[in-house]
Chains A and B, each alone.
Chain A
Amino acid sequence: MRKILILLVLSLVVAVGSAQAAEKKMKVGFVYVSPVGDAGYSYAHDLGRQAIEALPNVEVKYLESVNEGADSERVFLNMARKKYDLIFGTSFGYMDPMLKTAKRFPHTVFMHCSGYKSSKNMGNYFGRMYQARYLSGMVAGAMTKSNVLGYVAAFPIPEVIRGINAFALGAQAVNPKAEVRVVWTKTWYDPAKEKEGAKSLLDVGADVIAQHQDSPGPQEAAQERGVYSIGYNTDMSQFAPKAHLVAPIWNWAPYYMEVLNSVKDGTWKAGSTWNGLAEGVVDLSPMGAMVPEAVKATVMARREEIKTGSYVVFGGPVLDQAGTVRLTAATPDDIDLLSMDWFVKGVIGTTE
């Protein structure tokens, strides 16, 4: 009897001890829609993941190429069952599966990127990429000789339209004659199609190619034709060293660090976060050697102004393609930006 009692006490001690050890270690999961090696959108998120993986007492796992919808729900469920403390899902289509899983596992914190739904234990977040796009537009506007800028874009949704508009406004700020021509590919990732889209823009006289696509296809097209390009997501200069002027990029590490710490010390609250240049979640990659110092200085000065809030992108009046004033406020409401479905003056193309 006594032996059994000792055994019981001992096992209890071991159990408590190991439970405490497990508590110290935070389990964090990341779910991506595409492979992390794509030098694109998921890769940018993965750089953030690597930053928090380097912290002590954090166990980080990631899953790549997880389809939106039912597949992702299975993945979220699995992670939640394995008692992950914090799960990031970085694609728009993960929103509803994540919300469903969040309701069943109230002790796990869910963070969804690029959506708009939240619950008690699920928050959403994204970045004001349009601020960095405005700056990249300034570079393009200063470098063009034909005053035609080409933009290869994925889908006509507010996020992409906002980026095109900000790009156009940035270009016009330094070059009032600049116009932006848009082709839609209706795909996030089809290098061949994106390249073909870029070539068609080059054929109508564009001499700077920008993109809201995840593959470097458009960069290749620009380099082959000997003109300039603007990357996206991460520094794409490795794919087109002679063409790549600059890229608006994501920098998730500081924000992911912040979320992790708030979950750790219990101060995390559900809500929506839309950070920008000021918080460092979006920025510009280093500019290429072909960009003159004067242009660099102008762009970097505007970057500071946006950071401090003394310049606001989309500050009124902003005119649409037909010349009607669409935004009047000095600082536009986020809801107007989030639902943007029209092009600003100077963009040639259709949002349909």
Chain B
Amino acid sequence: MTPDMIIPLLAATVQSGTPILFATLGAIFCEKSGVLNLGVEGIMAVGALAGFSVSYATGNIWLGFLAGGLSGMVAGGIHGLVCLVFLGNQVVSGLALTILGVGVADYLGTPLIGLKAPGFVPTALPLLSDLPFLGPVFFRHDPLVYISYLVPVGMWLFFRNTRAGLRLRSVGENPDAAQAAGFSPTHYRWLGVLCGGFFMGLGGAYLSLAYTHMWANHLTAGRGWIAVALVIFAFWNPLRAVLGAYLFGGMMAFQFRLQASGTHIPSSFLLMLPYVLTLTVLVFSSWKGGSSATPQALGVNIEPAD
């Protein structure tokens, strides 16, 4: 592996990690409020379809990206309806949402297969892109990648330094105490579910608007599930999510480059690597005491007081 291979590898790492990063951040936001959401895969699929179809219909890629997020919000709203209004089981609702989302997206997206819609193209950031090493790795991507650099920091600050962020976290830890403190835990859980869905939808839209410029059945191809696992790896910390997403994206990019460089390692083994790695860090991080970072009321519905 020569230096001139490392820079493209790291640049590819950032790009293939970006959709997973958006989705992981969405899942963290949702779970911080105490609502477990296993429907990431389905919400991403809906976001990918909405993003592509709006970009195709209007010709405006930013509108498409926004539509991806908003449709993710709507899909997340279904989860909210089941878990927050009807107090349904969060695990079951999430799983159902995955099946529903992927199915609906495939069904509605059939006429769009094979069409070409405008999408995001790499735009080098002035000055920053001229930096040695860091420039080509981080600052010669499409605009959505740059947005993905800001979101984790913003989310981290939101959780740490804003009143709404603190309240959202407290609802995830102890909804009764939040109620006693005089604000509605359900409202903040809605905030978590809807905003979380928004970011998951953005992750899906990244796939159909920037990563590729097309719509295909099952475009998400399991990336939503990786996000679910990375939330635990990240200890529900938005900044650590960056690490997790790039680690997974990096392994994916790395194994392809190993194949292309003509190694004789069986491809089945190489394709397994990203998943093995995810599993390993998951086990490792749980063992290191990551469970103490779990929102204490995660997956527990707020029962009515009376």
Contact = CB atoms under 8 A, between A and B. Distances in A.
A148 to B, nearest CB: 10
A191 B8 contact: no
B140 to A, nearest CB: 12
Interface in B103-133: 106, 110-114, 116, 121
Contacts of A206: 260
A203 B2 CA distance: 12
Given A186-B267, A220-B213, A350-B267, A38 B113 contact: yes
A200 B262 contact: no
Given A38-B113, A203-B9, A350-B265, A192 B219 contact: yes
A290 to B, nearest CB: 20
Contacts of B221: 187, 190, 192-193
B261 interface: yes
A215 B16 contact: no
Nearest to A179: B262
Given A37-B114, A203-B8, A150 B260 contact: yes
Interface in B228-257: 252-253, 256-257
B271 A201 contact: no
B116 A239 contact: yes
B181 interface: no
A247 to B, nearest CB: 14
Contacts of B261: 204
Nearest to B4: A203
Interface in B78-121: 106, 110-114, 116, 121
Contact of A215 (B112, B216, B257): B216
Interface in B251-289: 252-253, 256-257, 259-268, 271
B294 interface: no
Interface of A: 34-35, 37-39, 43, 64-65, 150, 156, 181-187, 189-193, 195-197, 199-201, 203-204, 206, 215-217, 220, 224, 238-239, 348-350, 352
26 contacts: A34-B217, A38-B113, A39-B113, A43-B114, A150-B260, A156-B267, A183-B259, A183-B267, A184-B259, A186-B271, A187-B221, A189-B216, A191-B212, A192-B211, A192-B219, A195-B212, A196-B253, A197-B256, A200-B253, A204-B260, A204-B261, A206-B260, A215-B214, A239-B214, A350-B263, A350-B265
